[in-house]
Structure 1
Amino acid sequence: MPSKLEQLRATTVVVADTGDIEAVRRLKPQDCTTNPTLLLKGIETPAAGPILEEALSWGKRQGGSREGVVAAICDRLAVAFGAELAGIVPGRVSTEVDADLSFDIAGSVAKARAIIAAYEAHGIPRERILIKVAATWEGIRAAEILQREGIDCNLTLLFSLPQAAACADAKVFLISPFVGRIFDWYVKAGGGPYTGETDPGVQSVRQIYAYYKSHGIGTVVMGASFRNVGQIEALAGCDRLTISPALLDELAASDGDLPRRLSPENVENAPARLHLDEKGFRFALNEDAMAAEKLSEGIRLFEKDLRALRDLVARGLEEAKAA
């Protein structure tokens, strides 16, 4: 019998959630996603040495403020990692707009355009890239602008149906509803124990999937942020799932039947269509304590790791200049 990973690939596009270049080579996913946290971890791997060295060498030759040069090096690193990953996977690579732009429409659009231009300078067309933006009201509006320009977006830090509905109205290419972080919130609140069927993160993705498919919405649903293989198995058949190397390895080592759980031809209990203006979006998000808290927390954590990455680059730049 084929492994559970092979069975999953038959119904779902499998995406690697990592900045580890060697892991991507080994696991051979269709797509690859990164974020500031994964980029920070990826820099610590042996394969990243030449990429970091080149970026620091380039940074030494740049003028301007120290802060501006460090930020530019971080952007160069993100694209260099993405370019390396794009040379391995046959599909798309997601690269994230800085978390400190999560409430800045113009800033997010400008950063996304710069990222796409940098990829195109590497010979990688925009059709191979997804720009990751937080699913705030401002992030969704930025994505709406970018989509009209032919820049496909991945709306991340998504925890609720109102966020998913607003993304659908903005015609974004893909959303990443976070299973594990929803699970974490309910466990911390005293819920559980949960099975794959009762897991609140799984139920959230299933609800969004049913909403999209029943209303003919073309936006791709990509479940993300998994804590265990049970959550993944419960979403087999979802459009895409982005999974850490450790869980991909666990699925590859597991046999047994993995039935399809989601199918566009068989959706039930789909919510009614929502069309939210800014006031309605903010109120609906505020009414969902879990979604409001996890969105804010996610932005803070990504921004913290972005600062850590900038600090690491700043130290490396000083050492490179002193050498």
Structure 2
Amino acid sequence: MASKLEQLRAMTTVVADTGDIEAVRRLKPVDCTTNPTIVLKALAMPAFSDAVGEAIRWGQSQGGNHEAVVAAVADRLAISVGAALSELVPGRVSTEVDADLSFDIEASIEKARSLIKAYEARGIGRERILIKLASTWEGIRAAEVLQKEGIDCNLTLLFNLAQAVACADAGVFLISPFVGRILDWHVKATGKTFTAEEDPGVVSVRGIYDYYKSNGIGTIVMGASFRNIGEIEALAGCDRLTISPALLEELDAAQGSLERRLSPEKAGKVAPIHMDEKTFRWMLNDDAMATEKLAEGLRGFAKDLGNLRTIIDKQMQAAA
């Protein structure tokens, strides 16, 4: 019998949540997704030593404000990681807009355009890239503009239906609801142990999936941030799932039949929701988990971005 990973691939597009070149080469996902945390880890990988050296040398040749140069080097490294991954996957690579721009529509748009331009300078077309933006109201508005320019977006740090509805209304290409982080919050809040069927993250993604499919919405649902393979199995059939190498390996080793749990034909009927800024902000505010996990996620990504820039700064000074 085929492994559970092979069975999953027959019903769901499998995406690797990593910058580990060897893991991607071995596990053969369709797409890859990255974030500042993954880029930070990639700096320590031998596979990217040449890219790090090149970016540092490039930075030293640039003039102007030092902080701006360091930030530009960080972007260059993110592009290098994404470019390397694009050579290994047939689909798309996600690259993230700086978390500290998540409440600035215009700055997010400009950063996204600059990332696409940098990829195109390396011969990688926008059809191979997804721009990741946080699912704030401002991030969603930025994505709405970018989608109209032919720049497809992946809206991340998504924790509730209000965010999903707003993304759909904006014509976003793909959303990444965070299954494991939703579970983390509920475990901490209740002290309860959840089965895969009860898992609040699984329940949330199923609800979003049903809303999209029953309302004819084309935005792709890509479950993310998994804590165990039980969550993944409970979402088998979801449009896409982005999975860490460790869990991909576990699925590859797992035997037994994998039942399809989600399909457009079996999606529950959900009435459409009118979403404007006031409704969005209230629904988010009224959901303690979503409010707290969104803020926590933004702080975490911003912290990793700051750490990345600190390392670059030190390496530039050492090489001077």
TM-score by length of 1: 0.98
- Structure 1: how far apart are the matches of 2:134 and 2:158? 8
Moved more, 4-13 or 17-26: 17-26
Partner of 1:122: 122
Partner of 1:235: 235
SS of 1:2's partner is coil
SS of 1:261's partner is coil
- Residues 50-199 of structure 1: pairs in structure 2 closer than 5 A: 50-199=50-199
Unmatched tracts of structure 2, length 5 or more: none
Partner of 1:310: 309
- Structure 2: how far apart are the matches of 1:39 and 1:197? 33
- Structure 2: how far apart are the matches of 1:153 and 1:146? 8
Q: Is the 8 A contact 2:99 2:302 kept in 1?
A: yes
- Structure 1: how far apart are the matches of 2:98 and 2:42? 17
- Structure 2: how far apart are the matches of 1:305 and 1:248? 24
AA paired with 2:93? V
Q: Is the 8 A contact 1:166 1:275 kept in 2?
A: no
2:274 counterpart of 1:287: no
1:191-236 Cα shifts (integer Å, max 9, x gaps):
4211111100000000000000000000000000000000000000
Q: Is the 8 A contact 2:102 2:133 kept in 1?
A: yes
Partner of 1:255: 255
1:34-76 Cα shifts (integer Å, max 9, x gaps):
0011111111111111111111111111111210110000000
Q: Is the 8 A contact 2:132 2:155 kept in 1?
A: yes
Q: Is the 8 A contact 2:215 2:270 kept in 1?
A: no
1:99-124 Cα shifts (integer Å, max 9, x gaps):
00000000000000000000000101
SS of 2:217's partner is coil
Q: Is the 8 A contact 2:157 2:297 kept in 1?
A: yes
SS of 1:265's partner is helix
Q: Is the 8 A contact 1:119 1:126 kept in 2?
A: yes
SS of 2:266's partner is coil
- Structure 2: how far apart are the matches of 1:279 and 1:191? 33
Q: Is the 8 A contact 1:94 1:132 kept in 2?
A: yes
AA paired with 2:123? G
AA paired with 2:230? G
- Residues 217-228 of structure 1: pairs in structure 2 closer than 5 A: 217-228=217-228
Unmatched tracts of structure 1, length 5 or more: none
AA paired with 1:49? S
- Structure 2: how far apart are the matches of 1:9 and 1:83? 24
Partner of 1:278: 277
- Structure 2: how far apart are the matches of 1:199 and 1:182? 9
- Structure 2: how far apart are the matches of 1:275 and 1:72? 40
